[in-house]
Amino acid sequence: MDDLRHGEPLAPRTTLGLGGPAEHFLEARESTQLEAALRWAKEAAQAVTVLGGGSNAVVPDAGVLGLVLDVATRGLAFAKEGERVRVTAQAGEDWGAFVDRMVEEELAGLECLAGIPGRVGATPIQNVGAYGQEVAETIDRVRVVDRRTGERRELAPEDCAFAYRDSMFKRDLGRWLVLEVDFLLTPGGAPALRYAELEKNAPPVPTLASVKETVVALRRRKSMVLDPADPNTRSAGSFFTNPILPNDEAARAIEAAVRAGVVEAPEAVPRWPVGEARTKLAAGWLIERAGFAKGTRRGAVGLSTKHALALVHHGGGTTAELLAFAEEIVAGVRARFGVTLEREPRLLGVD
């Protein structure tokens, strides 16, 4: 393979800016290049790690062995389908630019997902979501290569088993390479206003464009839009997912909060029912109440000053420092509330 590079630094390709190099690296601009790279790796017995925009990825300090495949394929196609429009996006399309374009085209369904970094191909992996919207609501097909067989497959939403920040892709990370994603969007549809904070800040007559702008402004306030001038954005977004627990476990965590004097009454603990049997707790709230205030520092890493869920790299740090701080937080939350937080970003080459 002609374009193969060796010892390529990965830190500049991630939003955290941490970690070592890729043993082998290929930036693939065509889907045929992606498939050729997979064949090369199989023949050369090299592990393959897929990389998009690096905004939900942690790179180990030792780097990543085998081939890191940078999915940089571009292209959009539009097709009218009854009342809706099918938009097919190549996996390497920039997500933020894609959402901007859909809003410009007056296509509803993704407007609350503006300002999220990364590329289209990664959005089904963790069912990207924000401000009351998730990609699973509009994804109609995901075209993939099954890396076990090398075959192309077309997956329907029910095959993807989408859930909160989860999908079958995430549960079986080594198996799938996403090539393109089809979204079914609604021309001239109303913007989604389901999230209290968004509803409160949206203009009186909301449009797709104004709701998108409101989302971006809210995200900016929390340092959740990439901005080189904002040191809080050198992160991987939320480092932990909100725990969704069986009701009895959530009740025990809430009791623990009262016992520890964190709150006076159980009602003061933020929680949301998930179906009848489960309850979602707020990971950021648990972290702060376990004693990790926003802005807490451990050398070169710390918590964002605006968002207790974002672990930030202040420069000159290591992935080991970041993961040690993450472990300290997990242990602190477990000790106080009996809840084990789950890491959201993937540890490349390890997970």
Ligand X SMILES: Cc1cc2nc3c(=O)[nH]c(=O)nc-3n(C[C@H](O)[C@H](O)[C@H](O)COP(=O)(O)OP(=O)(O)OC[C@H]3O[C@@H](n4cnc5c(N)ncnc54)[C@H](O)[C@@H]3O)c2cc1C
Residues near ligand X (CB under 6 A) = 15, 50-57, 71, 91, 116-119, 121-123, 125-126, 128-130, 173, 176-178, 224, 226, 233, 235-237, 346
- Count of beta carbons in the 10 Å neighbourhood of residue 82: 7
In angstroms, what is the minimal distance from the CB of 66 to ligand X? 13
304 is catalytic: no
Q: Cβ closer to ligand X: 138 or 337?
A: 138
Q: Which of 263, 242, 248, 278 is nearest to 336 (CA)?
A: 263
Among residues 13, 165, 343, 346, the one annotated as catalytic is 165
In angstroms, what is the minimal distance from the CB of 190 to ligand X? 21
165 is catalytic: yes
In angstroms, what is the minimal distance from the CB of 346 to ligand X? 3
Q: Cβ closer to ligand X: 212 or 336?
A: 212
User: In terms of DSSP bridges, do strands 64-71 and 21-28 run parallel, antiparallel, or are they unpaired?
Assistant: parallel
In angstroms, what is the minimal distance from the CB of 235 to ligand X? 5
- CA 297 to CA 305: how far, in whole Å? 10
Q: Cβ closer to ligand X: 117 or 191?
A: 117
In angstroms, what is the minimal distance from the CB of 180 to ligand X? 9
In angstroms, what is the minimal distance from the CB of 134 to ligand X? 8
Q: Which of 307, 331, 327, 309 is nearest to 319 (CA)?
A: 327
Q: What angle do CA 235, 238, 242 make, to 5 degrees?
A: 165
Whether residue 331 contacts residue 337, with contact meaning beta carbons closer than 8 Å, is answered with no
Q: Cβ closer to ligand X: 162 or 292?
A: 162
Q: Cβ closer to ligand X: 178 or 253?
A: 178
In angstroms, what is the minimal distance from the CB of 174 to ligand X? 9
Q: Cβ closer to ligand X: 47 or 300?
A: 47
119 is catalytic: no
Q: Cβ closer to ligand X: 29 or 334?
A: 29
Among residues 23, 93, 180, 344, the one annotated as catalytic is 344
The number of CA neighbours under 13 Å toward the Cβ of 206 is 22
Among residues 167, 223, 238, 304, the one annotated as catalytic is 238
Order of strands, sheet of 48-51, starting from the edge strand that comes earlier in the sequence: 5-9, 21-28, 64-71, 48-51
Task: State how far Cα 251 lies from the chain centre.
Answer: 28
- CA 99 to CA 113: how far, in whole Å? 7
Q: Which residues participate in catalysis according to the annotation?
A: 165, 238, 344
